[in-house]
């Protein structure tokens, strides 16, 4: 018999966070989160997303053992401002038993129905800066700190339960040896003169901070036209500063500004922490910090986490300045592989940015949906 219990106490939430550690203990490609950080993500007093969203966390039990989990999420900015009557679900993990999946998702649908929402979509997080998507191809490859991993049977469960594809994402990568400076070296000099722009590089995190609010504003502008984009609020900016910026080498943050020092483009690249997080096993102490700091300084793989260009500067070659900066930085550090985060397959503008580097898609993922009845 399957029993579904709401995880509301700190003890239950810790069990919610730790369930995947047991589920994926034999997987070489699952990348564990830092348990403390996951707990803070779900802390309604610390995470400002809960000013505009609500979440209920469920655990599935059978014979007193946890066999599944799901977070049922409503982003009220999405529902009330965008008129998207969507019930979200995320942090979904189950054993290979469709009855467990069915029981957990029934809880999600019940909450959506109680709030007069139209459909359920997932797996997604609270906002656009959270992990997204069900892995459908590329199970044999190592995951990352910014993606969810899942077993292939997840896809079968959703299909059998009548869920249909909603959004399709791809992840691609290319060796740094594919990057030839002749693609952007001359172009970036012309762009500088034509538009009066310049690239900014940093060596210290504190140098980045004065520009971070502008970066998030530009992020909101850049991605506003994409489906289901929910803008980052001012209070969330402060939260994400603390959560993300400390993980990034300041040398891997590049901005482009105009003659008035207004931000017109940005890019954030992160070292790959995947292997370090596997070694840390969810804990910063006693040795997790050491593994993560080593990866921050010495990882030969980098992940292009975010890139944004002001609408007025799109298709004007501004990325040439960014790629020129990264080329010199990566050459110094001996970077070998460049990895891109999940990108919507219908986001043609972002795919055009990378075409000269001949990226190869090595993973695909999707969100699924089902109407609430």
Mean pLDDT over all residues of the chain?
94
- Residue 142 in this model has a pLDDT that exceeds 80: yes
- Report residue 67's pLDDT band, with 50, 70 and 90 as the boundaries: very high
Radius of gyration of the chain, Cα coordinates, nearest whole angstrom: 21
Strands 337-340 and 301-309: what pairing? Answer: parallel
Residues counted in the chain = 373
Q: What's the pLDDT score for residue 101?
A: 98
Q: For 17-32, what is each residue's pLDDT tens digit?
A: 999 999 999 999 999 9
Contact 339, 138 (CB under 8 A): no
pLDDT greater than 70 at residue 227: no
Q: What is the pLDDT of residue 108?
A: 98
pLDDT of residue 183: 83
Average the pLDDT over 143-170 and give the result: 97
* DSSP 8-state secondary structure symbol assigned to residue 261: -
User: Rounded to the nearest 10 degrees, how much is the dihedral formed by the CA atoms of 255, 228, 31, 334?
Assistant: -20
Whether 341 shows a pLDDT value over 80: the answer reads yes
Alpha carbon 208 to chain centroid, angstroms: 21
Stretch among 100-109, 162-171, 200-209 having the lowest mean pLDDT: 200-209
**pTM of this structure:** 0.93
Question: Residue with structure tokens 């309604």?
Answer: 44
What is the average per-residue pLDDT within 358-363?
Answer: 96
What is the pLDDT at residue 228?
65
Please give the share of the chain, as a percent, with pLDDT higher than 90.
80
Q: How far apart are CA 280 and CA 275, in angstroms?
A: 9
Task: Give residue-wise pLDDT tens across range 72-117.
Answer: 999 999 999 889 999 999 999 999 999 999 999 999 999 999 999 9
Question: What are the structural domains, with CATH classification, of the chain?
Answer: 2-170 (3.40.630.30), 175-366 (3.40.630.30)
Cα gap 202→113, rounded to integer Å: 49
């Amino acid at each position: 018999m399957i029993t579904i219990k709401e995880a509301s106490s700190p003890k239950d939430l810790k069990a919610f966070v730790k369930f995947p550690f047991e589920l994926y203990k034999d997987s070489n490609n699952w990348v564990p989160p830092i348990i403390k950080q996951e707990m803070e993500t779900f802390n309604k007093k610390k995470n400002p997303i809960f000013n505009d969203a609500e979440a209920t966390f469920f655990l599935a039990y059978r014979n007193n053992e946890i066999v599944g989990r799901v977070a049922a999420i409503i982003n009220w900015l999405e529902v009330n401002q965008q008129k998207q009557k969507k019930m979200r679900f995320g942090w979904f993990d189950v054993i290979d038993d469709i009855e467990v999946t069915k029981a957990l998702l029934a809880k999600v649908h019940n909450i959506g129905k109680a709030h007069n929402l139209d459909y359920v979509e997932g797996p997604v997080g609270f906002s656009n800066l959270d992990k997204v998507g069900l892995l459908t191809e590329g199970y044999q490859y190592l995951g990352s700190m910014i993606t969810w991993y899942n077993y292939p049977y997840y896809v079968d469960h959703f299909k059998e339960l009548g869920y249909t594809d909603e959004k399709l994402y791809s992840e691609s990568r290319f060796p740094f040896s594919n990057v030839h400076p002749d693609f952007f070296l001359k172009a970036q000099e012309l762009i500088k003169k034509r538009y009066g722009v310049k690239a900014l590089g940093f060596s210290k995190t504190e140098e980045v901070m004065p520009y971070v609010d502008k970066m998030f504003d530009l992020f909101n502008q850049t991605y506003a036209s994409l489906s289901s984009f929910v803008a980052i609020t001012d209070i969330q900016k402060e939260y994400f500063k603390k959560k993300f910026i400390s993980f990034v080498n300041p040398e891997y943050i590049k901005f482009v500004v105009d003659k008035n020092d207004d931000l017109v483009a940005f890019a954030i690249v992160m070292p790959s922490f995947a292997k370090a997080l596997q070694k840390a096993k969810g804990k910063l102490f006693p040795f997790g910090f050491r593994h993560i700091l080593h990866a921050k300084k010495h990882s030969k793989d980098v992940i292009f986490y975010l890139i944004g260009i002001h609408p007025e500067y799109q298709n004007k070659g501004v990325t040439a300045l960014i790629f020129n900066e990264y080329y010199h930085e990566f050459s110094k550090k001996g970077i070998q592989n460049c990895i891109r985060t999940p990108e919507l397959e219908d986001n043609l503008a972002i795919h055009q940015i990378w075409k000269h580097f001949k990226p190869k898609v090595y993973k695909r993922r999707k969100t699924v949906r089902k109407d609430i009845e």
